[in-house]
Structure 1
Amino acid sequence: MNAIIEQIAACKRTSEAPYSAYLYDMEALRRHAASSIAALPPYCRLYYAVKANPEEPILRALSESVHGFEVASFGEMEKVRRAAPAAPVIFGGPGKTDAEIEGALQLGVQLFHVESRNELQRIGHIASRLGIVAPVLLRVNLRASLPDATLTMAGPRSQFGIDEHEIPDVISLAGTLPSIKLEGFHLHSLSNNLSSERHIQLVKLYCSRVMEWIRMFNLDISYLNAGGGIGVNYAELDDQFDWRAFTEGLAGEVSEVCPPGVTVIFECGRYLSAFCGYYAAEVLDVKHNHGHGFVVIRGGTHHFRLPSSWQHNHPFRILPIERWDYPFARAELTDAEITIAGELCTPKDVLARDIYVEKVRIGDIVLFELAGAYGWTISHHDFLSHPHPQHLFIHEQGSHLQVSAR
């Protein structure tokens, strides 16, 4: 955090343009990924879900520790191959084109998540034409009761995976396709789960289902992909998912029910990259409307759509900037309840609403934390054609900071 604040302050000392930037603490990212992986039991592997943040420096840094990458498009796979040419890659997504399937096979995909009977047949057809055996995991849309989470991809109706009731038929079909090798199952059912205990129970449920299919069809499989779904608490920064308790549960009660010889894969995106990222935007205006304080920033949801998409108040802090270049008084709000809005001409451009602050002035910086995942790439960048923010990657070199930009 200190390195991020130092970099912002340095920029404000020299630049007259209103500040707007994503900043990434690369050493924090490396430490968090390495410690997360070190805590896993030997039968588990941790992959990075590229959809969370596909910036090349992020991918390069994570390639030093993660066991591989999960991609949801051929474009993401190309990004991984540029950043980490030899890394294992799993290809997912509910709508894969023939060109994506062929491209992934040619680039040496480790596994496909198969989302339907039709997709299994298309992968087999393309692999046969290329003279390749395609390794696949069947993605299962479970009908079981699942833990509560922000997003669910199974249990309720959704476009993801193969209905659990159809799995026996699709397993049988896979056995008839010579260019398909069934390597296991993918059971990513929810997203942003904050409870380590509920996630332990979820993985145990996955293990029991997979064991049933192994016994029913006398399968010899290698992988159970438990997906991602491990969450980040944007409301209470000090109450995050308990990774240590989770990995202890994996080493204990989950290992007792895991199919023997099967590797369990986790595909974490948000949990790995969210903590290293910050979105900073300068205050352009402060005012009262109908008795309520409003702070308008140089930026908004076209840069950082996550708060609007998830309908939450994103955590932030105010960085005071003393520089003031105008000959008139500097407007401020003190001891006020504020809404932080962006520069777009829409009332939906809000990043935090009805939040108390002691003081905020025009020219100060609003620094949004936990912005390393689902930030820039999910945003509508060119709406109203405002300038894009900077993207700065902060590396600590002893007592010095090295900053790279894109």
Structure 2
Amino acid sequence: MSLPKMLAQRHGSPLYVYDLDRVLAARRDLSDALPPGCDVYYALKANPHPDLARELRLGGCKAEISSLGELASALTAGFDAGDVLYTGPGKTPSELDSAFALGVRRFSAESPTDLQHIGAAALRCGTVASCLLRINSETSAANTGIRMTGRPSQFGIDSETIAGLAAELRAVPGTTIEGLHLFSQSNAESEDALIGELSHAVELAAHLEKELDVTLGLLDIGGGFAAPYGRHGSRCLYPRLRPALESVLDEWFPRWCEGTPRLAVEAGRYLVGDSGTLVTTVSNMKTSRGKTFVVLDAGINTFGGMSGLGRTLPVSVEIDGDGPRKAFLAGPLCTPGDILGREVPIPDLRPGDLVEIPNAGAYGVTASPLMFLGRPAPTEVVVRGGEVVSVSRIEHVRRCAG
């Protein structure tokens, strides 16, 4: 019996098991694929579990967050607030004040008004914010993965408007333009697509540096590093990415090796996706008009899909022990939308059996409608070398607001 199933027998299901050895392996693989000196920001939206975040901090990562909740997780994991990158298009005055009070000084500005709001909060705190201007590129090098640019968007300043806004952006009180933030896609479908998009970001940044009339200190070219989600498979490896990026950096930023600018990327699912296994129990099985339904104790409230996909449900999960039969994998919720997979190959199953969903370390618990119908959150177990590091579960508590 696998370790995740053994842990489920001890702690019950649904149960997430995260393996820190896999987190460390992913961090090493990504480091090997990047130019020397490149900063890696861990996007806590993928999985804010403090033990996973702490492992990545110890592995040299910095933290990218977009809420005070994620900031709290990052600080719990030991990240230095001064190295955190605070992103997102809807930063409110109160959360900016709180972030500054906690020591955050680096922000991604999504628009001229967002930059003004950051500056006003910095002045209230008696400091200056180091800002990356997030850019919504007018063009792209690829049309794969989840697109974040090249269309009207709440994310980023339209690249074609930078020249006309340069003086205004440089003059915002309480801010200094430290660099640029170009995040164009997620989960690139191939290494060629990833190289094309990141190379395009470097070239665009060189042109924008001239239009802004600033010297870039930090260039965040985003991510797109791919990993399977709830299905069998392995993380992508990128043997050609490092030399390709070094070549394009040599062309457009000949002093990059000296740290002008310092290069950064962001990664979430790539770093934690294959560390996680979701164990769920078969509650019931039935046949309806010729179709087999396997009802599990984990549904969309437990593994609800990535918000970045623009839909609630994963495309389709897979389970261990594929067999000749096919079935719909349904969750326990009282809604017909609680389907984790359609016509998924299954082994011989019966109520009470444990099954595993692989590659579930990213966009799991906290990317799900966890409170829908009031079912308890799944237990989360962290292991290293086959030994349990921690056991925890998210609890929801209603408190009076008066």
Name the TM-score, length of structure 2 as normaliser.
0.88
Q: How far apart are 1:265 and its partner, in Å?
A: 0.9
Aligned 8 A contact 2:141 2:196 in 1? no
Deviations 1:6-48 (A, max 9, x none): 2422542x67x6x310111112112221332244212421110
Q: Give the secondary-structure state (helix, strand or coil) at the position aligned to 1:295.
A: strand
TM-superposition CA deviations, 1:61-107 (whole Å, max 9, x none): 11111330100112211221121142620000110011222222233
User: 1:138-217 alignment to 2 at 5 Å?
Assistant: 138-217=133-212
State whether residues 207 and 259 of structure 1, in contact with CA within 8 Å, keep that contact through their aligned partners in structure 2.
no
Match of 1:324 in 2: none
User: Mapping of 1:5-404 within 5 angstroms?
Assistant: 5-9=2-6, 11-12=8-9, 19-86=13-80, 88-234=83-229, 237-238=232-233, 240-258=235-253, 260=255, 261-306=260-305, 309=312, 311-318=314-321, 335-396=324-385, 401-404=387-390
Q: Distance in 1 between matches of 2:230 and 2:380?
A: 25
Name the CA distance, whole Å, in 2 between partners of 1:217 and 1:337: 57
Q: Is the 8 A contact 1:200 1:254 kept in 2?
A: no
Confirm or deny: 8 A CA contact 1:194 1:241 kept in the other structure.
Answer: no
Structure 1 pair 213/267, CA: closer, same or farther in 2 (3 Å)?
same
Is contact 2:17-2:381 (8 Å) kept? yes
Structure 1 residue 108 displacement after superposition = 2.7
Structure 1 residues without counterparts, runs of 5 or longer: 320-333
Pairwise CA distance, 1:53: 0.4
Shift of 1:317: 0.8
Contact 1:339 1:352 in 2 (8 A): yes
Contact kept? 1:194, 1:240, Cα under 8 Å: no
Residue 323 of structure 1 corresponds to which residue in structure 2?
none
Q: How many residues in Structure 1 have an aligned counterpart in Structure 2?
A: 383
**How has the CA–CA distance of structure 1 residues 236 and 54 changed in structure 2, closer, same or farther, with 3 Å as cutoff?**
closer
Give the secondary structure class of the aligned counterpart of 1:102: helix
Query: What amino acid is the match of 1:109?
Result: V
> How far apart are residue 291 of structure 1 and its match?
0.8
After TM superposition, the runs of 4+ consecutive aligned structure 1 residues lying more than 6 A away are none
C-alpha spacing 1:194/1:207, structure 2 compared with 1 (3 Å): same
Per-residue deviation, 1:163: 1.5
Farther off after superposition, 269-278 or 42-51: 42-51
CA contact (8 A) 2:228 2:359 kept: no
SS of corresponding position for 2:224: coil
One-letter amino acid of the counterpart of residue 76, structure 1: E
- Root-mean-square deviation (CA, aligned residues, Å) is 2.3
Q: What is the SS of the residue equivalent to 1:131?
A: coil
Which one-letter code corresponds to 2:168 in the other structure?
Answer: L
- Identical columns (%): 31
Measure, in 2, the Cα distance between the counterparts of 1:85 and 1:64: 9
8 Å contact 1:91–1:111 — kept in the other structure? yes
Pairing 1:405–2:394 present: no
**Structure 1 residues 245-270: Cα deviation after superposition (integer angstroms, max 9, x where no partner):** 32332234454334632122111011
Matched residue SS, 2:45: helix
CA separation in 1, counterparts of 2:337 and 2:364?
16
Distance 2:273 2:65 in 1: 17
* SS of the residue 2:138 aligns to: coil
Q: Measure how far apart 1:194 and its partner are.
A: 2.4
> 1 CA distance for matches of 2:128 and 2:254?
24
Instruction: State the secondary structure of the residue aligned to 2:336.
Output: coil
Q: Secondary structure at the match of 2:320?
A: strand
Quick one: which amino acid aligns to residue 17 of structure 2?
L
Return the alpha-carbon distance in structure 2 between the equivalents of residues 233 and 315 of structure 1: 11
State the Cα distance separating 1:273 from its structure 2 match.
Answer: 0.8
Query: Does the aligned pair in 2 maintain the 1:210–1:259 contact within 8 Å?
Result: no
Q: Describe the SS at the equivalent of 2:88.
A: coil
